[in-house]
Amino acid sequence: LTPVDGLRLFGALAYTDAKYTAPFDSNPNNNPAIDDDLQGRAVARAPKWAGNIGADLRLPLGNALEFGITGNM
């Protein structure tokens, strides 16, 4: 059921629990001031939640032509 003929609404939602599961060497020079045990820590720039929403509109313009526009964020 859509409020306008030719309109399609869509969306998605995702959950990610990204963590280092094995030892990772973040200290290649073995600097003792740097803690290089990342195991069990969250991964940088990996959001817990992500999603998008969007709409697609298709309108017939005669027998063999169709106007379409899509947007999402």
Question: What pLDDT score was predicted for residue 6?
Answer: 93
Question: What pLDDT score was predicted for residue 25?
Answer: 67
SS3 category, 28:
coil
Please tell me the pTM assigned to this model: 0.62
**Residue 46 CA from chain centroid, whole number:** 10
| Spatial contact of 25 and 36, defined as CB atoms under 8 Å apart | yes
pLDDT, tens digit (0-9, with 9 covering 90-100), for 7-56: 999 999 999 999 988 877 666 677 766 666 778 888 889 999 999 999 99
* Euclidean distance between CA atoms 66 and 44, whole angstroms: 44
